[in-house]
Amino acid sequence: MKHLYHNTFFIDQSELTNDISFTHFSLTKKYPQNNSALLVDFKNNFKFATRCIKKLIQLKNKNINFQTVSNGKNIKYILSHYNQAILDSLIAIEIEAPKEKCIFTYEKFCDELDTVWKKYNPCHFCNNLCAAAKTDKRYSKPDGCCAVAFDLILLKKGIFTKDSFYPCPHLAKTGGCTTQNSACKMFACRYIKKNKLISLKPKQSLMYQCFFNSKQRLILSNNFFKTKEQLIDKLLEIDRTPLLYYSFQFKYLILD
Ligand code: SF4
Ligand code: SF4
């Protein structure tokens, strides 16, 4: 039996014994208010897992309960073919306070992006110069920040003026970035894209797919040079503007 969140536990299906009652999970089934622990097979399949997590979010929003008490512990799930991203999503479902939930999902999404950057390591810093800067000085400064590379993209979009973002106020004199910014982590410069040095696919993140709506996704991917706290506040903002206008009017940008 493993701990999930607060007083909620789960077990692996291989640990299931005859005395633990359970309910089968189905994407289409309607459940009564109270049920025994939910047996979910995620099938090691990302698309299916995404649908499962979305359904579990709906069930939680409707206050549909799943629980079997065993050895004094509340088992909510019996799981098979799952991974850490699925467990993180199940934890996120349990978090009720909106700000706490937003911080958790944001941090997990950023961690996933960090893992991708570490895996590909496309910037190949050497003597504080990145791979792109070695061939084109517009891309990066010797301190290793590529804010000037963002500048090129944003200026092209016509969103900002030539007042440069460099140096970014969140860049430490040594040690790099002092905050956690999803937009920066989702950014790859033209050099990296042209040479196909990294594969950043946020749509392959359960957090991104299941816990952020379309407006929040615009916020996540466009607010460079802002702090984690500014991004969290913006993600929690309630704006009833229709998505089209929200996007055309750049309402997703944090302006300070
Ligand atoms: S993203 Fe591009 S510009 Fe930025 S550090 Fe990496 S190689 Fe350099
Ligand atoms: S917020 Fe973005 S641009 Fe600023 S230091 Fe951090 S990663 Fe670099």
Distance from Cα 112 to the centre of ligand 2, integer Å: 17
Residue 255 in domain: no
Q: What is the per-residue pLDDT for 165?
A: 63
Round to whole Å and give the CA distance between 123 and 248: 32
Range of the domain at 217: 98-248
- Do 27 and 53 lie in one domain? The reply is yes
Judgement on whether residues 128 and 70 belong to the same structural domain of the protein? no
Last residue of a domain, one of 94, 113, 130: 94
Identify whether residues 166 and 107 lie together within a single domain.
Answer: yes
Q: What is the pLDDT of residue 142?
A: 59
> How much is the pLDDT for 173?
76
Is 182's C-beta closer than 6 angstroms to any atom of ligand 1? Answer: no
Strands 22-24 and 8-12: unpaired
Return the pLDDT at 225: 86
State the amino acid at position 117 in one-letter form: W
Angle, helices 84-94/46-61, rounded to nearest 10 degrees: 10
Closest residue CA from atom 6 of ligand 1: 123
* Residue 212, ligand 1, Cβ within 6 A: no
Give the model confidence (pLDDT) of 30-52 as tens digits: 999 999 999 999 999 999 999 99
Answer yes or no: is the C-beta of 225 below 6 A from any ligand 2 atom: yes
Distance between Cα 177 and ligand 2 center (Å): 5
Indicate the number of domains in the chain. 2
Q: Cα(156) to centroid of ligand 1, in Å? A: 18
Q: Are 21 and 28 in contact (CB under 8 A)?
A: no
* Residues contacting 154, CB < 8 A, separation 6+: 160, 165, 224
Q: Render 95-136 in DSSP notation, one character per residue.
A: --SHHHHHHHHHHHHHHHHHHHHHHH-TT--BTTB-HHHHH-
Residues 217 and 238 in one domain: yes
- What is the pLDDT at residue 149? 67
Q: Is 158 part of any domain?
A: yes
Of 64, 200, 62, the closest CA to residue 208 belongs to: 200
**Integer angstrom CA distances of residue 75 from 2, 20, 175:** 9, 9, 43
Residue 199 makes CB contacts below 8 A (sequence gap 6+) with 116, 120
130 lines ligand 1 (CB under 6 A): yes
Q: Is residue 256 part of a domain?
A: no
How far lies 167's CA from each of 79, 144, 174, 215, in Å?
A: 47, 11, 13, 28
Same domain for 10 and 69, yes or no, is yes
Query: Which residues of the chain carry a pLDDT beneath 50?
Result: 162
- Tell me how far apart the alpha carbons of residues 40 and 21 are, in angstroms, rounded to a whole number: 14
> The tokens of 180 are what?
């956690």
Q: Indicate which residue's Cα is closest to atom 2 of ligand 1.
A: 189
pLDDT of res. 193: 87
72 and 193 inside one domain: no
Q: Which of 94, 111, 140 is the last residue of a domain?
A: 94
The last residue of one of the domains, among 47, 74, 94, is 94
Identify which of 146, 198, 200 to mutate to test ligand 1's pocket (most ligand atoms within 8 A of the CB). 146
Same domain, 73 and 141: no
Residue 64: per-residue pLDDT: 98
Per DSSP, 3 falls in state E
Cα dihedral 217, 219, 224, 228, rounded to 10, equals -100
For a mutational test of ligand 2's pocket, the pick from 154, 165, 171, i.e. the residue with the most ligand atoms closer than 8 A to its C-beta, is 171
Assess whether 57 and 125 both reside in one domain: no
Distance of alpha carbon 122 from alpha carbon 196, whole angstroms: 9
Q: What is the pLDDT of residues 18-29, one digit of tens each?
A: 999 999 999 999
Same-domain status, 75 and 107:
no
Buried b (16+ CB within 10 A) or exposed e, 129-146: bbbbbeeeeebbbeebbb
User: Do residues 132 and 164 share a domain?
Assistant: yes
Q: Does 171 fall in a domain?
A: yes
Q: Output the pTM of the full model.
A: 0.92
